[in-house]
Amino acid sequence: MTPVCAPGRYVATSVTSVHQMENGYKVWSFHGRLLHESSKDRLFQLSWRPRLPSLLPPEREAEILKNLKQFTKRSVRCAFLSLCV
């Protein structure tokens, strides 16, 4: 099973074994670009953290859904800037 994060933007692949082998995981974008790779001596399971409930009031969530393209552009720009800093 290949874990996919809750929003569906990232996919993780892993090699898990009880024995010390080539264990580790890779995180990919939904475009297929490798974002992160990590080797571990022992890796038994890989899973995403549960998505926390929203702290926004329902009215604000509805506004965001209504203007999703605008908010998506803003969040992608902010995420890119935080990676560059």
Identity (one letter) of the amino acid at 84? C
Q: Residue 38 is part of which domain span?
A: 1-50
Instruction: Based on the fold, state whether residues 35 and 72 are members of the same structural domain.
Output: no
pLDDT tens string 31-48: 888 988 988 888 888 887
Q: Dihedral of CA 13/16/22/25: which sign?
A: positive
Instruction: Based on the fold, state whether residues 7 and 43 are members of the same structural domain.
Output: yes
Give the integer Cα–Cα distance in Å for 34 and 56. Answer: 32
Q: How many domains does the chain have?
A: 2
3-state secondary structure of 55: coil
pTM score: 0.52
Is there a contact between 72 and 80 (Cβ–Cβ < 8 Å)?
no
Instruction: Based on the fold, state whether residues 19 and 60 are members of the same structural domain.
Output: no
Kindly tell me if the per-residue pLDDT of 76 is higher than 60: no
Instruction: Based on the fold, state whether residues 57 and 40 are members of the same structural domain.
Output: no
Instruction: Based on the fold, state whether residues 36 and 76 are members of the same structural domain.
Output: no
Instruction: Based on the fold, state whether residues 38 and 63 are members of the same structural domain.
Output: no
